[in-house]
Amino acid sequence: MHILILGAAAGGGFPQWNANNAQCQRARAADPMVPPQTQSSVAVSLDGQQWCLFNASPDLRQQINDNPQLHPRADGPVRQSPIRSVVLTNADVDHVAGLLNLRESQPFSLFATARVQATLRANSIFNVLNPDFVTRKETQLDREFSPLPGLTVTAFAVPGKVALYLEDPAAEGFGTMAGDTVGLEVCETASGRRFYYIPGCARVDDALRARLAGAALLLFDGTLFTDEEMIVAGEGIKTGTRMGHIAMSGPEGSLAALADIAVEQKLYIHINNTNPVLMRDSDARRQIVDAGWGIAMDGMEISL
Amino acid sequence: MHILILGAAAGGGFPQWNANNAQCQRARAADPMVPPQTQSSVAVSLDGQQWCLFNASPDLRQQINDNPQLHPRADGPVRQSPIRSVVLTNADVDHVAGLLNLRESQPFSLFATARVQATLRANSIFNVLNPDFVTRKETQLDREFSPLPGLTVTAFAVPGKVALYLEDPAAEGFGTMAGDTVGLEVCETASGRRFYYIPGCARVDDALRARLAGAALLLFDGTLFTDEEMIVAGEGIKTGTRMGHIAMSGPEGSLAALADIAVEQKLYIHINNTNPVLMRDSDARRQIVDAGWGIAMDGMEISL
């Protein structure tokens, strides 16, 4: 399995358009220790020819341009793409807006839960995906599906939150229901070798820990280093908990909760512009690395 | 007035993700004669500090990153942007999708006609624009409004077509109504010096010619060089006429129709990936230049 990190940053990307913190300034100044990152998406392939996207970020056009693996083949027909399918983990803007780049009557399959598909149907702008070419497939939680030949994917519910623009302020949990945020188990069918892609997760529980054991790779929610980071930075009024994202650090954080799971390689992904791990020379980065984690970066390719 | 070309290409950009024609291949290969272009948008400022965007393309995050004029000021507060307002010319994906990049509780004003504003309201995904910060203002055709202090803008109807995803196949003109596509007259209030931004236009008539006379600059629909270009290229089944875009060449084309208008500077913008003028060494490009036109390019800055 080939896994290509298209975007390692959380919603807004890094630097974020209106964020003026020190690390965004360093990224804008092309500081080599603080490389810019686009928004959350990975591509997966078995043969290097056919690719499946996990989430479609607003930066997808730039991501396709920057990664030759996703270009049309030079000897191919006049309309062509190696992208065969897209799998969504939720309806967040940073995970669905990129679908608007996949217009132009190109065949592919679009996999998402019923709640996420309903959101896309309710937004007419997604009708740019011509139904004569784009097949929308409803996934069931905990039921295998195959977005590429030889690849088996299972979506499972993780603690999370409904997309911001769908929040119901009057409802418990802002109207969040099972299937609003999922993790993905991705398995090479022949070998059984598997990895997990979980860009949004509010809490690590025993069920999740048990599921992850034995995986070759974990790509996990690295939105925030500390739960109150955005408030401290003066960039927001919400904790990570309120946004549906577990922090890395602290007694309840993912570093502690996932310290002893048997996973060959652990990478944080979906990293917010306020998270100091985006700076290679930060203490936070050192803590992560010392704990055996890596940080996903745009253009990174992992073969399992 | 400072006019910054953020994106010179039409919907899909150049190269387009699934287009494999010779000029897209040259752009992907970094041929210096065929520079890539992002999707249709311009920024306007009087003082270089406050900017108004005309259209918000899907590439807006990349465009902001690539143009330091639109970065937060290094000495400014932690959340900040020089973007004060956005004016839309229609509801096409390549003109509205970039609004999804302007989330994060940043104040700005969003100007569009009633029909375009209704489309945004009907698509809940645009609720990421927090109404506590983003003011949506309905413009009237042929009535002045001011998206920046000292700048007067007038939207006027031009022959065009409703956005693709809103087409009604059963209705005459696919359900197109006045206000679905507008041109913008942009005037420095103090001096009266003015330019026109018309990225989509199906036909040039006498009324339009009369209006343009005396302008300092015209940015005009350069989608296609020939009306049947996309069909000939094997990349589509629609003529320019069907898509609501006048071609450059031919007896009915914009080169002929706008040959003798008294405008100081004429630039084509909103250029499709099939249009040979994107190649600096093409015959088509030479014809355009010989006729006194220029081609807008990403990053170009014009001071009037």
Q: Is the minimum CB–CB distance between A80 and chain B shorter than 8 Å?
A: yes
The pLDDT tens digits of the residues spanning B234-276 come to 777 788 777 788 999 999 999 999 999 999 999 999 999 999 9
Three-class DSSP category at B152: strand
Q: Which residues of B touch A96 (CB under 8 A)?
A: 125
Interface test with A, best of B17, B59, B81, B134 (most A CBs within 10 A): B17
At residue B34, the pLDDT reads 98
At residue A182, the pLDDT reads 86
Q: Is the minimum CB–CB distance between A72 and chain B shorter than 8 Å?
A: yes
Would you state the structure tokens that stand for residue A130, as one six-digit string?
A: 């011509």
Name the A residues in 88-117 with CB < 8 Å from any B CB.
93, 96-97, 100-106
Q: Where residue A114 falls among pLDDT bands split at 50, 70, 90?
A: very high
Minimum distance, in Å, between the CA of residue A130 and any CA atom of chain B: 9
At residue A4, the pLDDT reads 98
- Whether A123 sits inside 8 A of B124 (CB atoms) is yes
Q: Where residue B228 falls among pLDDT bands split at 50, 70, 90?
A: confident
- Domains of chain A with bracketed CATH: 2-299 (3.60.15.10)
Q: Which residues of B touch A127 (CB under 8 A)?
A: 165
At residue A242, the pLDDT reads 77
Q: Which residues of B touch A230 (CB under 8 A)?
A: none
Minimum distance, in Å, between the CA of residue A182 and any CA atom of chain B: 19
User: Which of B58, B166, B235 faces A100 most closely, judged by CB atoms?
Assistant: B58
Q: Which residues of A touch B73 (CB under 8 A)?
A: 20
- pLDDT above 90 (res B293): yes
- Whether A125 sits inside 8 A of B123 (CB atoms) is yes
The pLDDT tens digits of the residues spanning A150-201 come to 999 999 988 876 666 677 777 777 677 776 788 999 999 999 999 999 999 9
At residue A234, the pLDDT reads 79
The predicted model scores a pTM of: 0.94
- pLDDT above 70 (res B219): yes
The pLDDT tens digits of the residues spanning B127-178 come to 999 889 999 999 999 999 999 999 999 999 888 766 666 777 777 776 777 7
The pLDDT tens digits of the residues spanning B39-82 come to 999 999 999 999 999 999 999 999 999 999 999 998 999 899 99
User: Which of A11, A101, A165 faces B124 most closely, judged by CB atoms?
Assistant: A165
Q: What is the mean pLDDT of chain A?
A: 93
The pLDDT tens digits of the residues spanning B191-210 come to 999 999 999 999 999 999 99
Nearest to B6 by CA among B69, B97, B49, B79: B69
Interface test with A, best of B80, B125, B230, B235 (most A CBs within 10 A): B125
Q: Which residues of B touch A70 (CB under 8 A)?
A: 17
Minimum distance, in Å, between the CA of residue B93 and any CA atom of chain A: 7
The pLDDT tens digits of the residues spanning A223-276 come to 999 988 888 877 777 887 777 889 999 999 999 999 999 999 999 999 999 999
Cα B4 to chain centroid, rounded: 12
- pLDDT above 70 (res A47): yes
- Between CA A297 and CA A128 the distance in angstroms is 30
The full 3-state SS of chain A, as one line of letters, equals CEEEEEECECCCCECCCCECCHHHHHHHCCCCCCCCECECEEEEECCCCCEEEECCCCCHHHHHHHCHHHCCCCCCCCECCCEEEEECCCCCHHHHHHHHHCCCCCCEEEEEEHHHHHHHHHCHHHHHCCCCCEEEEEECCCCEEEEECCEEEEEEECCCCCCHHHCCCCCHHHHCCCCCCEEEEEEECCCCCEEEEECCCCCCCHHHHHHHCCCCEEEEECCECCCCHHHHCCCCCCCHHHHCCCECCCCCCHHHHCCCCCCCCEEEECECCCCHHHCCCCHHHHHHHHCCEEECCCCCEEEC
At residue A111, the pLDDT reads 97
- Whether A19 sits inside 8 A of B78 (CB atoms) is yes
Q: Is the minimum CB–CB distance between A130 and chain B shorter than 8 Å?
A: no
Nearest to B30 by CA among A76, A103, A28, A71: A71
The pLDDT tens digits of the residues spanning A67-106 come to 999 999 989 998 999 999 999 998 999 999 999 999 878 9
